[in-house]
Each structure stands twice: as C-alpha cells, then as structure tokens.
Amino acid sequence: MKRTNRNHPTYWAFLLHRVSGVLLAVFVPVHLYVLSLAINEGALLDEFLRWSSTPVVKLMETGMVVMLAAHLTGGLRLLGLEFLAWYAWQKTALALSVGISLAVGLVFLLNAS
C-alpha cells in the first residue's frame, strides 16, 4: 500500500492537531493537581513554584502554550473544512495558523522571562 498523501500540508496539520490534543490532555490533570496543592498543601505548592521558575520549565510552558494555540487554530481549520467550501487560499490559512501559534508561544516566552 503506497502512502503518498502523508507529505501534504493538511496531513501535517491533522497530525499537529492530534498531537497537541494528546499533550493538552496529559497537561490538564497535572495542572489540576497543582491547583489542588494551592488549596491543600501550601508548602508543596511553594516548592513546586520554585521548581517551575527554572528555565527548563519555562521552555516546557512555552511549548504548552504553542500546543494550545496550535490546537485552537487546528480546530478552527477543521470547522472551516466542515462548513466552508474548499479554496486554494486555505493552504495559506494553514500556514498562517502555524505562524500565529508560534508567535503566541514566542510572546509567552518573552513575557515569562
């Protein structure tokens, strides 16, 4: 079986949307756990906040913001595919959504430091 359709921009958009969704699904329980620390365990929260100010964690947070933006723009792209007719400009919109996702992550990184 020959798979020639996997080197197409829309396939990569599909893959990015799925991977970002999985990463966000992993992140949400961790985030909720940290929020529970704020309510129940003040000392553990302080230790976690100290750890979260390291550059590696800042970089990981930036990655999560990029994934959130990519998932949002990918979802909007899918809504467009469902409700709009296909036009050649949609390939440009796909590239624009990737650029917006990266720009949002860069703005977050610059504000985080």
Does the residue 81 lie in any domain?
yes
The per-residue pLDDT for 4 is 62
Radius of gyration over every alpha carbon of the chain, rounded to an integer in angstroms: 18
> Which residues span the domain enclosing 97?
19-112
In this structure, what is the dihedral angle of CA atoms 92, 16, 78, 105, given to the nearest 10 degrees?
Answer: -70
Does the residue 9 lie in any domain?
no
Does the residue 1 lie in any domain?
no
Does the residue 35 lie in any domain?
yes
For residue 3, pLDDT over 70 is answered with no
* pTM of the entire predicted model: 0.65
What are the Cα distances from residue 14, in Å, to 17, 62, 65? 5, 21, 18
pLDDT digits (tens, 9 = 90+) for 4-26: 677 777 788 888 889 989 998 99
Does the residue 5 lie in any domain?
no
Distance, CA of 111 to CA of 109 (rounded, Å): 5
What is the number of structural domains in the chain? Answer: 1
